[in-house]
Amino acid sequence: MKAFFLLRFFKSRKFSYAAGFAFMFAASFIQTLFPKVLGSSVDLMKERGFALHPVLMNVLWMVLIAFAVFVFTFLWRNMIIANGRNLECYIREELFRHLLTLSPAFYGKRKTGDLIAHAINDISAVRMTFGPATAMSFNGIVICISSIYFMFAAVDARLALLTLAPLPFIIALMLYIGRKIQSRFRIVQDQFGLVSDKVQENISGIRVIKAYAQERSEIEKFGALSSGMAQSNVNLIKVSAALPPLIEFGFAVCFVINLFYGSRMVMRGDISVGDFVAFNGYLSLIVSPIVSIGRVVTIFQRGMASLGRLYDIMSVQPDVTDSPHALRLRPEGEIELRHLTFYHDGARVPALSDVSLRLSKGRTLGIIGPTGAGKSTLAALLLRLYNTEPGQILLDGRDIGDYSLTYLRESYAFVPQDTFVFASSVKDNIVFFKDTYGDEEVEAASRLSLIADSISRFPDGYDTLLGDRGVNLSGGQKQRMAIARALIRNPAVLILDDALSAVDTVTEGRILESLRRARKGKTNIIISHRISALMEADEIIVLDKGFIRERGTHEKLLKKGGMYYDLYTAQQEDGQPQA
């Protein structure tokens, strides 16, 4: 359904396209009348004592043609080319909307850089195809057909045939060299990629290069890449520079044929001098459409390839969607997992195996375990970032898939390991672009997560810009801001996924303390490597390779002397003061 988005666009603009093409047709056709009028003026003037009046009439015609072509061209450009721009923005919107609906499974498989490249290059290639290239080809076709028609019909068919004889060769040569240019151009682009990668690497890795005194050898390596690129550029220019002179020479041959045979025909009286001049005019009219054939072909090829790639993305169906009868209901925070087993796409080993637990409203669950144990997967499943089998995850006694995504996710707040900071103000990052929260709420949430003091020291307080162009937060500040982002929503369920790893143990203790107060009576899930973060939970589960190995309270698990106990003693030895 979504893949037909282009067709929808063209349908919605069919009138402006139709009018645009009509104007374009008029402009191109009227343009081809000009040489004829010029030729007729020459014929009028060549006799001694000619009548001035008809010549002046012709002048008037020329002025009319000039303005008509201008006005019609202005009009069609504002329709066809503007539609191309409109299409560009339309596709970008559709793509962005579509990207918002796609699930983490999709993003896990795609590189961010590739997706951005689609958004930039492919859209621009499609615009070029449906805007300028379509216009150029239609325009060129009309001009060529009517010019050649006038050459044949109004001047002389034999002369036209003779003169146009070199054209097929010119076109063949052009396409042949065009292909060569393309392949050499690709080499240049690859080389350019290598050169800029190297530059980037050398600048990001400058400390390592200096520390190991590698400057000289790095410069040598770069020199080799750079001269390779210079050489391939010269190779490219060797063919690309040959194209314009060759085409020009090809047309010069056409002109010479006309010059030679045309003037003989004039002398024999077969055609008039005016016809000869008009013929020359038609010949120069078709030069630029023919020259642009190569370019148009390339644009079309690229555009079609890009369109294919865009179609591929647009036809990916989002995995996680609302069911037709989704419940418009907020879960209250009663969670139950029943024999939950989950495989990531294409994985042979499950990320979670037979996980069962019950977390009633108002209780806190701690999850601990080594990297890859399935802790974060469990959090992702509770947020329904991936689909699970019906009946495996129940919220307030109903299957998680029954809830509308909006209601489901709005009843959660999640603080991930690596906080994503948007290049926007502190406030935007906390309210997360929703305008339903007042300033007091923002400040209260910041105080609870112990970030308020840091924010008050920023140049513009809550309006301070973050990210590339603004203040860079430390790892600990980011995590505390993310906690504020979660707390302001006052969610039914709060999930902290190793969210305190970058704050020191003392601050960690204070944040946990303030969370306990703020989250009284609500459901909480704390995932951590550090025992100190979750030892006060009502229940703690130890996950390992997707299985629950141990469960119980801190004291119970210590007594048991298993994995939890080992982790505890290992962390006790290190102490890990974050000085």
**C-alpha dihedral over 225, 227, 228, 234, to 10 degrees?**
150
The minimum distance between CB 531 and other proteins, in angstroms, equals 7
Instruction: State the first-to-last Cα distance of the chain, in angstroms, to the nearest integer.
Output: 57
Residues of this chain, 541-560, that bind other proteins according to CB under 8 A:
554
Residue from 2, 179, 409, 549 touching other proteins (CB under 8 A): that is 409
Residue from 535, 542, 543, 548 touching other proteins (CB under 8 A): that is 535
Residue from 11, 85, 109, 516 touching other proteins (CB under 8 A): that is 85
Q: Is the CB of 182 or the CB of 338 nearer to other proteins?
A: 182
Size of the site for other proteins (CB under 8 A): 153
Q: Is the CB of 113 or the CB of 324 nearer to other proteins?
A: 113
- Find out whether 55 and 45 touch, Cβ atoms under 8 Å: yes
3-state secondary structure 253-284: HHHHHHHHHHHHHHHHCCCCHHHHHHHHHHHH
Residues of this chain, 422-451, that bind other proteins according to CB under 8 A:
422-423, 432-434
Q: Is the CB of 379 or the CB of 455 nearer to other proteins?
A: 379
Residue from 242, 357, 465, 518 touching other proteins (CB under 8 A): that is 242
The minimum distance between CB 488 and other proteins, in angstroms, equals 11
| CB within 8 Å of 267: residues ≥ 6 apart | none
Distance CA 382, CA 207 (A): 43
Q: Is the CB of 223 or the CB of 438 nearer to other proteins?
A: 223
Q: Is the CB of 176 or the CB of 356 nearer to other proteins?
A: 176
Residue from 141, 208, 304, 305 touching other proteins (CB under 8 A): that is 208
Q: If binding is defined by CB under 8 A, does position 169 make contact with other proteins?
A: no
Residue from 69, 393, 394, 484 touching other proteins (CB under 8 A): that is 69
Residue with token string 């925070």: 333
The minimum distance between CB 241 and other proteins, in angstroms, equals 3
The minimum distance between CB 578 and other proteins, in angstroms, equals 6
Residue from 4, 12, 78, 169 touching other proteins (CB under 8 A): that is 78
Q: If binding is defined by CB under 8 A, does position 567 make contact with other proteins?
A: yes
The minimum distance between CB 248 and other proteins, in angstroms, equals 6
Q: If binding is defined by CB under 8 A, does position 210 make contact with other proteins?
A: yes
Residues of this chain, 315-374, that bind other proteins according to CB under 8 A:
370-371
Comparing CA positions, the residue from 512, 510, 552, 517 lying closest to residue 528 is: 512
One character per residue 281-300, x = contact with other proteins (rule: CB under 8 A): ---x----------------
Comparing CA positions, the residue from 185, 218, 216, 227 lying closest to residue 199 is: 218
Residue from 3, 8, 12, 46 touching other proteins (CB under 8 A): that is 46
Residue 388 zone, left/alpha/beta (φ > 0; ψ -120 to 50; rest): beta
- Find out whether 383 and 320 touch, Cβ atoms under 8 Å: no
Q: Is the CB of 151 or the CB of 265 nearer to other proteins?
A: 265
Q: If binding is defined by CB under 8 A, does position 13 make contact with other proteins?
A: no
**Neighbour-count burial for 338-356, b at 16+ CB within 10 Å, e otherwise:** eebebeeeeeeebbbbebe
Distance CA 38, CA 270 (A): 19
The minimum distance between CB 436 and other proteins, in angstroms, equals 10
Comparing CA positions, the residue from 329, 490, 343 lying closest to residue 400 is: 329
Residues of this chain, 250-269, that bind other proteins according to CB under 8 A:
252-253, 255-256, 259-260, 263-264, 266-267
Q: Is the CB of 18 or the CB of 63 nearer to other proteins?
A: 63
Q: If binding is defined by CB under 8 A, does position 165 make contact with other proteins?
A: no
Distance CA 279, CA 265 (A): 12
Residue from 308, 475, 561, 562 touching other proteins (CB under 8 A): that is 475
Q: Is the CB of 379 or the CB of 394 nearer to other proteins?
A: 379
Residue 156 neighbours by CB distance under 10 Å? 20
Comparing CA positions, the residue from 484, 485, 515, 479 lying closest to residue 497 is: 479
Give the gyration radius of the chain's Cα atoms: 36
Residues of this chain, 481-520, that bind other proteins according to CB under 8 A:
485, 489, 498, 501-502, 505-506, 509
**C-alpha dihedral over 434, 440, 441, 445, to 10 degrees?**
120
Q: If binding is defined by CB under 8 A, does position 92 make contact with other proteins?
A: yes
Q: Six-digit token pair at 538?
A: 């009502």
Distance CA 463, CA 484 (A): 15
The minimum distance between CB 252 and other proteins, in angstroms, equals 3
Residues of this chain, 175-204, that bind other proteins according to CB under 8 A:
195-197, 199-204
SS3 348: coil
